[in-house]
Amino acid sequence: MSKKYWGLILGLILLYGTFSYYYMVTFDNHDSNWNYHELQKISKNESSFSFAVYGDSANSDGRFNHLIKSLNSKNVLFSVDNGDLTTSGTPMHFGYFLIDAKQLKAPLLTNIGNHDLSGSGSESNYINVFGNPYYSFSEKNSYFIVLDDANSNVNDTQMNWLKNELKKSQNYKYRFIFMHIPLYDPRYNFKGEGLSLGNSTTAKTLNNLFDEYNVTMLFTSHIHGYFQGVWGKTSFITTGGAGSPLSKPHAGVNNTENYFYHYILVNVTDNGVNYEVVRYN
C-alpha cells in the first residue's frame, strides 16, 4: 500500500480519536443535573447582589464567547441562559454548549427553549443534562421561578406547580419569572401573533397569575433582540441577544433599534431593583 493511502488511513484514525475524545469530555464526563449543581455554588452571604439574564445563544458563530468575556468582567452572583442553548437539542450540541458554559466564572442556570427539544419534540436530552426543565430557588429577598414553555404551552401539572410557587414567593420582596417564549410578541402587543405562546388562553391565565401575585419582572427570550414593557400589571423584558443571528423587524416596520447583541444585568438591593442593558460586539 502506498504512503499516500497509509497517510489517509492514519489521518482518519487521528480524526476519529480526536472527535471521540472531544465528544466524551464535553458531554459524557460532565455532571448530570447541571442546574442543581450550579445552584449549590451560589454564595448565600450576599446582602445585595447582581445576576445576569440572556437568551438565544445557539448558533452564535463565536458571539456567545464575547458575551462570556464581558460577563466575566462583572461581579454577578449567577446568570440565567433563558433557552435555545442549542439549534437542535442533540446530546452533541449540548456538549458544545457546555464547553462555552464552563468558561463562565459565575454559576450558570439554564432554561429550555423550543430549539432545545429533540427532533421528535422530546425534552429527554435536555433533562439528561440539566435536570427538571422547570424549577425554583430563592436568594436573600428574592424568589426565582423558571418555567418550561418550550412547546409553546404550559400544561396543567406545571400550572398547578406554578400557583403553589407563586404563593410561596409572597414571603419574599421580589419575584422573578423566566420563560423562553413570551406571553405575547411585544411587536404585536396582545394580538397573539408573531413569536408568542401558541395557546392564547394559557397566555392570559399566566398574565393574570403574574398580575395577582405581583411579579417583579418577567424575563422572556425567543425573539432575537431587546424589548421591555408591561403586560397587564406585569413588567417584562425580552432578551434574545446572546449570540443567535438577530431577528428582523416584522413586516411594514423599518425600525431596527431593538435588534442588537446584549445581556441584562440585574442589581438587587433592599431599596429596589434596577436593570442595565449591556451591549457587546
pLDDT tops 60 at residue 182 = yes
Q: Tens digit of pLDDT for each residue in 12-69?
A: 434 444 443 344 434 444 458 999 999 999 988 777 999 999 999 998 889 999 999 9
Q: What is 32-279's CATH number?
A: 3.60.21.10
Identify any residues that bridge with 278 across adjacent strands, giving them in sequence order. Answer: 263
CB proximity list for 160: less than 8 A, separation 6 or greater: none
Whether residue 5 has pLDDT greater than 60: no
Query: Exposed, middle or buried, 258 (CB in 10 Å: 0-12/13-18/19+)?
Result: buried
Q: How far is the C-alpha of 113 from the C-alpha of 115, rounded, in Å?
A: 5
SS3 69: helix
Share of the chain above pLDDT 70, in %: 86
In b/e form, how buried is each residue of 216-253, taking b as 16+ CB within 10 angstroms?
A: bbbbbbbbbbbbeeebeebbbbbbbbbbbebbeeeeee
pLDDT category at 260 given cuts 50, 70, 90 is: very high
- Under 8 Å between Cβ of 196 and 181: yes
Task: Name residue, grid cell 439528561.
Answer: 128
Which pLDDT belongs to residue 94?
A: 95
pLDDT tens-digit map of 121-158? 899 999 999 999 999 999 999 999 999 999 999 999 99
Of 72 and 26, the structure prediction assigns the larger pLDDT to 72
Q: Rounded to two decimals, what is the model's pTM?
A: 0.88
**Residue 53, amino acid:** V
